[in-house]
Amino acid sequence: MMKWLAALAGLMVILFAGAPAHAADACATPGKFVFANVATQRAAIPPREHTTYAALGLRAKRNGCSLAIVCTPAVTGEDRYKIAGQRCAAVRQALARYERRPEFRRAIQDSIEKLPPKGLNFPAGSVVVILR
């Protein structure tokens, strides 16, 4: 009985000893992902792209990353800022699609920081997802 308890205690020490160090790390896999020609409505995003966005959201969750999004307006057009905002909203919704529960999905969408494109050198009309 004592050997079993000692083995269990040793296993717990091994398992939980690395937990605080890992939790203290920032983002395990930071990166920037640029997407061009993004649809303005979530329902219009093709399934393969939807899977890509959801995988990025899940990757951020598993690796302790926060998400930020940059939507650059097109070079020309009267409603270019409106279209950029619609693209941002569609991608935000798609990033949280891995979560099945709507109340948690909304919290994830609200936690995604929207960064202004000023001073950032990204292609016009693109959506950039940043894991940090």
Any domain includes 102? yes
**Domain CATH code at residue 81:** 3.30.1330.60
Domain residue limits at 78: 26-131
Residue 17 is assigned to a structural domain of this protein: no
Give the pLDDT confidence score for residue 15 in this predicted structure.
Answer: 32
Would 1 be classed as within a structural domain?
A: no
Residue 18, domain member (yes or no): no
pLDDT tens digits, 24-66: 457 888 999 999 999 999 999 999 999 999 999 999 999 999 9
Whole-prediction pTM: 0.75
Does residue 90 fall inside a structural domain? yes
Sheet (strand 67-71) strand order: 31-35, 127-131, 67-71, 113-115
The reply to whether 116 falls in a domain is yes
Task: Name the one residue in this structure whose structure tokens are 């393969």.
Answer: 48
